[in-house]
Structure 1
Amino acid sequence: MRNSKLGIALCTALLVAGCASGGGEEGGSAAQAGLPGSIKIGVPLDLSGAAGIAGVGTSERDGVRLAAKEINDTGFLGSSKIELVEIDTKADKQEAVQAVLKLNADKVDAIVGFTLTPSFLAAAPQLQQSGIPTMTVGLSSGGVTETGDFMFRLYPDMANVMPPADKEFAEAFSGLKTAAYLWQGDSEAAANVMGKRKGVLEGLGITTVGEETFVGTDTDVRAQLTKLKQAKPDVLVTMPLPGMISTIYLQLDEVGFDVPVFAAPDASDAALEQAGKAMQCFVYVTAWNGQSAEGNNAHFLDYWQQNGEKRSATVFEAAGYASMWSVAHALKAAGTTDKKAVRDALAALDGIDSPFGKIGYTENRAASVKGTKLQIVDSKITLFDPEKSPDCKR
């Protein structure tokens, strides 16, 4: 349970500050009593390396930048301004460790970052030892908050979100007896999630008839897809990272693999423009629904269109934006950059607006983000309807 005295103190701080409930609202005319003029936020993200990973990191960074701009432009923290200290961690564990050492030397007040779980886990001991409040942006594997009480996560552990959705999908597509699996082998997160997905389907009596992997630099996966097709599964379960989605699903169509597909999360508008027709009737669960009107998602999309990069927003821009705003709310509630106070304020956040709906942070410091089950019909993302989905034909 939350500490009641802490909750009262934070509520008082919020009232005194005139704190808004979500991004994009004015934060009062006076600076917070204990906040400095410049607040340094470290932003270690994977901005280079394999295209699929660098694309995710770049999107996360752009979401963080968007939030920082809005926080500063609206005076959410009074006259205090967010200063981002960005570092490319290059999808490498050692780079991540060196980035944290540098950010610690630069005396950042908090960190908003990390694209890959292994890199974070390598750097987390130093973060915890230094007592730096850290909001991880796009980590989809478990073990993040377990590394220490200064560690937080915005993006949910998809190993807890996807398997229950797969169970519902399997029950809607009745008669499934066999399954094949294809995932990105150079992603520990993808491998971990796929293991859980496979386990839940096998628990329903669905027999595994094939398993294949690929890596993020592959441009041709037809051989793996053909091998899986020859196994004649009733359903194909896939787990590519976003940068590989179009490649995988276009080639799936090319080899004539037309069974139902339980897909990976986070199909972007760009992916749909390239492979939407090939993804007809795919079902999947995602942490962020771009069509949602919950929280301040509509505001985020509008603000992104006006001030972001000239491309459609994805879950990763949304995650970067929500992560940075969460830290801003904590700074405002704490009224200081004292690291323990900011950590405690983060842990006590509840009911703040975000593109993921209204969120708070649970007892294990994870944002209360719930997945949304979706389906692609005629190249458009729609809500999954278990009554109608089995009638959708590829």
Structure 2
Amino acid sequence: MYSYKIGISKEEHDSFVKKSQQTNLLQSANWAQVKDDWGNERIGFYQDQTLVASASILIRPLPLGMTMFYIPRGPVMDYQNRELLTFVLDSLKTVAKAKRALFIKFDPFILFEHFQIDAEPVSNPDAQEIIDTLKAYGCEWLGRTSDMAENIQPRFQANIYAQDFSEAGLSKKMRQAIRTAKNKGVSVRFGSHELLADFSDLMKKTEDRKAIHLRGIDYYRKLLETYPKHSYITLATLNLKDRLADLDQQLEQKQNLLSSYDDKVKPGKIDNTKNDIGRLTDEINFLKEQLAKGKQTVPLAGTLTLEFGGTSENIYAGMDEEFRRYQAALYTWFETANHAFERGCQWQNLGGIENDLSGGLFNFKSKFKPEIEEFIGEFNLPVSPLYKLSNYAYTLRKKFRSNH
């Protein structure tokens, strides 16, 4: 016999999610604290006193006292158990009606298919059956959407797994980029609040460069404080004076080499040395300009990572485009992954990518040879007769915001 309980403890909910095959950060109880502009309920579903399904629900206030329920990457449950599925959805509708919800939006942590780049997709044999079952119950499926903006959470993500990840497994070009960062004096630190100001500055530069609206330092602080033992910032920095001293030494060596050449030296070798001198001179001038602005040690790139139940996710990442030549962003993401796996995480979510596997997000993240994972997507479960009108208004508002 099934029953449900509203307001189960964080500990009971999180323990269930961590033991499931659908472990994910967005269904951790603390995620609702991050999204504190929404309301929250945790509901546990039991079979003979045993917890068999759970959902952390975000509740969005709407005009006229109405609400919207949203269950990111949940509920966590066995979707092939039709009796349980029916009970969970029936119960959610009952609770939603009591909260004056117009509809329930949810996107289960279930893959449609997954694949390595340039390899044949591996389909989830249960995905279509689950979709059909949810549709038969009355849920509206948004389908295999083609635009990232059509869903609240990305329907495609790039994941790397500890068991498969190594520097040796990366492309020659990627390994060279990592060596370039190291050779140019880029150093990487892991920390928390002491790195917040530099990280926030990088995010502001990223925001300005991409002409998008991101979060501010208070939000990043909230993430660290909400997951105090399971969060960290990775920050790549460059000591300008140290790098300049190294370059001055290299330049002197190249100039001495050029002056030592006689008529027997091949023109190609002379040209290569002159090119090296030009490259070194250009970087020296760049660093002198930065030092003249009062800069000493500068942040180049950073990520903010959260962990939950053996999983790790890059929530935010930023870089200073002016220092792009140092390959700090790639190096930072690489070291972030290594750090996550050293801390015992099984996989790291690099975040969402474009659904058509093109564009900047995909091009950058594909360099890490991730597993591309496609989720089955979002469903809407109508609760109120006003659902169609409210969903139409919601869709228009979301489209407007994505275009601005």
TM-score by length of 2: 0.26
Higher RCO (CA-CA < 8 Å; seq separation 6+): 2
| Structure with max Cα Rg | 2
TM-score by length of 1: 0.27
